[in-house]
């Protein structure tokens, strides 16, 4: 079991969220022919789990610097 507790105060909300995500995924795929949930479509992904805004920004800035330096 993960460290995070699964709390569902609204029955059916998880399923509704999954359905909305599937609809969004299909709509955007139909428009742009790209699956935005496929991480291979991205140069960099940042796991924001347990990170605050400043930590995410710092990681992003380091990545941008590597692009500027050609590394």
Whether the CB-CB separation of 47 and 39 falls below 8 Å is answered with no
**CA distances for 2 relative to 6, 12, 34, angstroms:** 9, 21, 30
Model pTM? 0.56
- Residue with the larger pLDDT of the pair 70 and 11: 70
Which residue carries 């605050």 as its tokens?
Answer: 52
Domain boundaries, given as residue ranges, for the chain: 13-68
pLDDT digits (tens, 9 = 90+) for 11-68: 788 889 999 999 999 999 999 999 999 999 999 999 999 999 999 999 999 999 999 9
Q: Predicted confidence band at 1 (pLDDT cuts at 50, 70, 90)? A: very low
Measured distance CA(14)–CA(21) in Å, rounded: 11
Which of 49, 50, 45 has the alpha carbon at shortest distance from 60? 45
In the numeric block, the tokens 């140069």 are attached to 43
């Amino acid at each position: 079991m993960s460290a995070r507790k699964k709390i569902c105060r609204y029955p059916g909300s998880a399923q509704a969220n999954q359905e909305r995500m599937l609809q969004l995924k299909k709509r955007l795929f139909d428009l742009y022919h790209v699956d935005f949930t496929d991480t291979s479509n991205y140069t960099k992904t940042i796991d924001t789990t347990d990170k605050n805004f400043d930590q995410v920004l710092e990681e992003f800035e380091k990545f941008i610097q590597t692009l500027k330096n050609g590394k």
